[in-house]
């Protein structure tokens, strides 16, 4: 084979590798589930369960819920709704589990981490 052929082969392989590397960097696969926090149907936060976090979500009428991620689970630490069922639900960590606060129309759903 001629020298030009080798240069071409290397160039094409290099380009392919660069594209694959770029794609992987832009779409990192994460095994950790993610807690999706929605207020009135709109996503307000995405909290990966492998990173501790604390956020407070306000509802339009002035109420609040404090959502905490700790040790791979997510829970509502405090809220000013009358029954506090969201707080009393405790922590969730499995894909598919949901904590909901009906008066504040807030939901916290654990989803799979890929994509």
The two three-digit tokens of residue 63, written as one number: 């109420």
Please tell me whether residue 8 binds other proteins under the rule CB under 8 A. yes
If the CB atoms of residues 53 and 91 are measured against other proteins, the closer one turns out to be 91
- Any idea which residue has 């240069």 for tokens? 7
**Cα–Cα distance between 56 and 16 in angstroms, integer?**
44
Please tell me whether residue 43 binds other proteins under the rule CB under 8 A. no
Please tell me whether residue 82 binds other proteins under the rule CB under 8 A. yes
**In this structure, what DSSP letter does residue 15 have?**
H
The two three-digit tokens of residue 100, written as one number: 């909901």
Question: Residue 31 — left, alpha, or beta (φ > 0 → left; ψ -120 to 50 → alpha)?
Answer: alpha
Please tell me whether residue 100 binds other proteins under the rule CB under 8 A. yes
List residues near other proteins by CB under 8 A: 1-2, 4-5, 8-9, 11-13, 15-16, 19-20, 23-24, 27, 33, 36, 38, 41, 82-83, 85, 88-91, 94-98, 100, 102, 105, 107, 109, 111-112, 114-115
């Amino acid at each position: 084979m001629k020298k030009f052929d080798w240069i071409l082969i290397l160039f094409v392989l290099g380009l392919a590798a660069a594209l694959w590397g770029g794609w992987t960097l832009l779409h990192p696969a994460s095994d950790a589930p993610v807690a999706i926090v929605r207020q009135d149907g709109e996503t307000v936060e995405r909290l990966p369960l492998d990173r501790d976090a604390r956020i407070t979500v306000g509802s339009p009428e002035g109420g609040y819920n404090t959502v905490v991620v700790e040790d791979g689970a997510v829970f509502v630490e405090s809220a000013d709704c009358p029954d506090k069922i969201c707080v009393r639900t405790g922590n969730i960590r499995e894909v598919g589990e949901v904590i909901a606060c009906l008066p504040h129309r807030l939901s916290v759903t654990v989803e799979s981490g890929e994509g």
